[in-house]
């Protein structure tokens, strides 16, 4: 006889946020690896991150349909077909949701059709998943599973949950509850990246900024002992002792070097980066942007905590 899950044992956003903030340095390397690699992979598909965002917005409408109608679709079932039927494309709706000008949305939709990613058959519209590189989100699944696993370790140490979950266990949970988990995943993705786009100006600049902060947050000096979010903020700008050159950033992100140089100069002017005499670029959060960055980070921790607790609650039930 199966035992009903205890309501009192269920996680919520506040428990996760509290634990993450307390041991922030243990959490943040996995987080920035996740968000940095996701946006780099997004760029690699069409050399246009917004175009990829439009595509996953269309895919996410299917997840919304499943959720609205109480339909649970697992990972293998969702990807067993090479094509995915989607609803009618509404330019204005996409424009408003993603805050991309209507003409830009229309132009990018036309390009997706020319590339064979979007296909029309009579009144039906399909996404041809073989026409773009990331057919299955294997890298994203691996990184989000690791992030949630690290979070479960922190939560267990803080006595918020009874058990630690391995990356493999989290991955299995996500695959089993794929339509539910990936709906929540995309909700975080849209909120996080577009919130930062408003600050930095475009998603390519954000991709470069995330690589720079990911490089800084992986510094071993920040990981050897538990550091809360306040101490981490005070130390992170001085953590990157090596930095990255523009060629390395270009190679990793796929963004052309002249564009990288221009975007890095923008980050320096805005107060988020610095460049030394050896042309090495590193994180440098100036006082003029520190307060706003702090607020953005607090919002990010709350948003990712929602994603984490919902996946962990599924793992606990499974």
Q: Which of 97, 92, 310, 73 is nearest to 178 (CA)?
A: 73
Distance from C-alpha of 11 to C-alpha of 5, rounded to nearest angstrom: 12
Lowest model confidence (mean pLDDT) among 38-42, 157-161, 241-245: 241-245
Cα distances from 317 to residues 300, 307, 311, in angstroms, run: 26, 16, 10
- What pLDDT is attached to residue 288? 87
Q: Are 229 and 21 in contact (CB under 8 A)?
A: yes
Q: Compare 67 and 9 and report the one with higher pLDDT.
A: 67
Query: What would the mean pLDDT of 11-20 be, rounded to a whole number?
Result: 92
Confidence of residue 6 (pLDDT cuts 50, 70, 90): low
Convert the pLDDT of each residue in 213-230 to its tens digit.
999 888 767 666 788 999
Q: Are 216 and 236 in contact (CB under 8 A)?
A: yes
Does pTM surpass 0.75? yes
Could you tell me which of 21, 31, 305 has the C-alpha nearest to residue 146? 31
Residue 77's SS3 state is helix
Query: What integer pLDDT is reported at residue 318 of this predicted model?
Result: 67
The pLDDT score that the predictor gives to residue 122 is 73
Q: How confident is the model at residue 11 (pLDDT cuts 50, 70, 90)?
A: confident
Burial of residue 69 (number of CB atoms within 10 Å: 0-12, 13-18, 19+): exposed
Does residue 5 register a pLDDT over 70?
A: no
> Residue 144 has what pLDDT?
98
pLDDT digits (tens, 9 = 90+) for 23-32: 999 999 999 9
Reported as a single tens digit per residue, the pLDDT across 184-216 is 999 999 999 999 999 999 999 999 999 999 998
pLDDT at residue number 232: 87
Task: Return mean pLDDT, the chain.
Answer: 90
Cα 131 from Cα 83, distance rounded (Å): 10
Stretch 20-41: mean pLDDT, rounded? 95
Q: Report which of residues 280 and 120 the model is more confident about.
A: 280
3-state secondary structure 241-287: CCCECHHHHHHHHCCCHHHHHHHHHHHHHHCCEEECCCCCEEECCCH
Averaged pLDDT for residues 28-51: 95
Segment 68-89 mean pLDDT: 89
The whole-number pLDDT of residue 87 equals 79
Q: Which range, 56-70, 246-260, 290-304, has the best average confidence (pLDDT)?
A: 246-260
The predicted structure's pLDDT at residue 1: 44
Tokens, residue 54: 């439009």
């Amino acid at each position: 006889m199966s035992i009903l899950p205890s309501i009192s044992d269920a996680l919520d956003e506040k428990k996760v946020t509290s634990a993450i903030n307390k041991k922030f340095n243990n959490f943040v390397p996995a987080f920035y690896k996740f968000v940095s690699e996701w946006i780099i992979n997004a760029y690699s598909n069409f050399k246009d991150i917004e175009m990829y965002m439009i595509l996953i917005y269309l895919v996410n409408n299917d997840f919304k349909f499943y959720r609205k109608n109480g339909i649970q679709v697992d990972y293998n079932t969702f990807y067993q077909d090479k094509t995915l039927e989607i609803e009618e494309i509404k330019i204005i709706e996409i424009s408003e949701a993603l805050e991309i000008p209507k003409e830009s949305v229309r132009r990018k939709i036309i390009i997706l059709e020319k590339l064979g990613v979007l296909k029309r058959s009579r009144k039906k519209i399909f996404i041809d998943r073989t026409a773009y590189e990331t057919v299955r989100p294997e890298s994203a699944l691996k990184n989000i599973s690791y992030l949630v696993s690290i979070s479960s370790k922190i939560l267990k140490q803080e006595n918020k949950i009874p058990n630690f979950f391995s990356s493999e266990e989290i991955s299995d949970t996500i695959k089993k509850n794929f339509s539910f988990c990936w709906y929540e995943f995309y909700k975080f993705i849209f909120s996080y990246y577009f919130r930062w786009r408003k600050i930095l100006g475009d998603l390519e600049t954000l991709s470069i900024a995330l690589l720079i902060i990911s490089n800084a947050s992986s510094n071993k000096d920040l990981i050897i002992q538990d550091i809360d979010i306040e101490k981490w903020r005070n130390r992170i700008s001085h953590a990157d002792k090596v930095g990255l050159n523009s060629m390395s950033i270009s190679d990793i992100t796929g963004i052309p070097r002249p564009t990288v140089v221009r975007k890095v100069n923008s980050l320096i002017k805005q107060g988020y980066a610095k460049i030394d005499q050896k042309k090495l670029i590193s994180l440098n959060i100036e006082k003029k942007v520190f307060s706003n960055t702090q607020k953005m980070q607090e919002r990010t921790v709350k948003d990712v905590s929602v994603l984490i607790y919902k996946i962990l609650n599924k793992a606990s039930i499974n």
